[in-house]
Amino acid sequence: MNIAAYEPVSRGYTAGNRLQLLRNGEAYFPALIEAIDRARHEVHLETYIFADDATGREVAAALSRAAQRGVMVRLLVDGFGARDFDTGLGAGLGADGVEVMVYRPEAGRYAFRRHRLRRMHRKLAVIDGEVGFAGGINIIDDFDTSTSPRFDYAVRIEGPLVARLHLAVRHVWRLVRWAALGRRPPPPTFVPPQRPAAVGSVQAALLLRDNLAHRHDIEYAYLDAVRSARGEILIANAYFLPGRRFSKALLLAAQRGVKVSLLLQGRSDHLLFHYATQALYDRMLAAGVRVFEYDRAELHAKVAVIDEDWATVGSSNIDPFSLLLAREANVVVRDPGFAAELRASLVETISAAAREVRVEDQRQRSWRARLASVLAYSLVRFMLGVTRYGGKQYSQ
């Protein structure tokens, strides 16, 4: 199979799009289910996690309804993030006519293979080649860990950019089907318009991250925007552990007078990464970067706004596993209205539900807390060294 022949182009902006910013699952899931219920021909859904909870069952029911009325429904989940899906909720979907596949199924819960870390972390959906969704929201209940909703974003997309999403999901579906079944998939039964009609005025691009042609697309887009920033950089990211190149770009931006703010997790579900990230605080604060920790619930967002017209919403964290290993997908938007809406949402969140980390706070940390951060950061770097994925970005 000639992989390059099916590789979707993931660079360059397309004009004429309409984007709707969706905050948290309370906005995303109703929009996704409505689109699935309106599907006439085809539904593609990719997700890292597909939980067997109330939200997962609602989305699964919509997929089943679509399949039962004759829509071709294809669902791709990750073998680690949704490790028990195919024997649980996925089995019922298969019986209803949904095509379910698993990206890199787990060989064993405690088995270690170097390539086990290469996950399908994207959260994409395409309906009839006309409506698309992208972002960081998994198929899981917003309230599974807190009385407040998990903080995250997605976008609903109409317009020419949907063709890029459609190519992306079909491409990975073909690769996984080829790997699972060992034969070329049949031609698709539904051929959407080559380029959906313009329905708005927003310029946007789909940026992919994989281990072939698009290894650095998302990272380089961030770096280009950070290095050219003139006024403000506002980043909200669940797992923030940038390499030297990314860290240097942020520090230089702050030093040349750009207002740099980071909204990070205060209540993390991965303590190792949480403590490792805190090892970066002293240097960031010394350069003038403002750091805020969101502590109302879990922060799962992967978004940013730079200056007045650049924004991104997607699945990619700013950490080695997203930037060096996983399949990721971010939408980058060049539009003042969209950027202003996302910025206003982030500013309101910082004001209402985040605590600013100050220099004096760092000075008052106990020696045990400081040691934990140093050890966590060293352990992450060691893990990357052992797997040979970190390269020079996470070395001394």
How confident is the model over 203-222, as pLDDT tens digits? 999 999 988 888 899 999 99
Asked if residues 156 and 20 have their Cβ atoms less than 8 Å apart, the reply is yes
Residues of the chain with pLDDT > 70: what percent?
A: 88
Q: Is 123 a catalytic residue?
A: yes
Q: Where are the extended beta strands (E) located within 232-370? A: 232-237, 259-265, 290-294, 302-306, 310-314, 328-334, 354-357
Name the CATH code of domain 208-394 (choices 3.30.870.10, 3.30.70.260, 3.40.190.10, 3.90.226.10). Answer: 3.30.870.10
The chain-wide mean pLDDT, for the chain, equals: 88
Q: Is 307 a catalytic residue?
A: yes
Q: Which residues of 220-254 are buried (b: 16+ CB within 10 A; e: fewer)?
A: ebbbebbeebeeebbbbbbbbbbbeebbebbbebb
Distances (CA, A) of 89 to 55, 57, 96, 102, 173: 12, 8, 11, 13, 20
Instruction: Compute the chain's Rg from CA coordinates.
Output: 21
Which one of 217, 300, 319, 335 is the catalytic residue? 300
pLDDT at 361 over 50: yes
Which one of 44, 123, 214, 274 is the catalytic residue? 123
Tell me the C-alpha distance between 333 and 200, whole Å: 13
Q: Is 392 a catalytic residue?
A: no
Q: Is 259 a catalytic residue?
A: no
pLDDT digits (tens, 9 = 90+) for 258-280: 999 999 998 877 778 888 888 89
Which one of 44, 166, 214, 302 is the catalytic residue? 302
Mean local confidence (pLDDT), 283-311: 95
Instruction: Count CB-CB contacts under 10 A for residue 65.
Output: 16
Same fold across 12-200 and 208-394? yes
pLDDT at 382 over 60: yes
All structural domains of the chain with their residue ranges? 12-200, 208-394
What is the enclosing helix (H) or strand (E) of 194?
none
To the question of domain 12-200 being in CATH 1.10.10.10, the answer is no
Which tops the pLDDT comparison, 381 or 76? 76
Q: Is 141 a catalytic residue?
A: no
Which one of 121, 166, 214, 274 is the catalytic residue? 121
Tell me the C-alpha distance between 72 and 67, whole Å: 6
pLDDT digits (tens, 9 = 90+) for 313-351: 999 999 887 888 889 999 999 999 999 999 999 999 999
Q: Is 302 a catalytic residue?
A: yes
Which one of 128, 141, 142, 152 is the catalytic residue? 128
pLDDT band at 108 (very low <50, low <70, confident <90, very high): low
Tokens of 124: 């994409």
**All residues at 6 or more sequence positions from 352 whose CB lies less than 8 Å from its CB, including other chains:** none
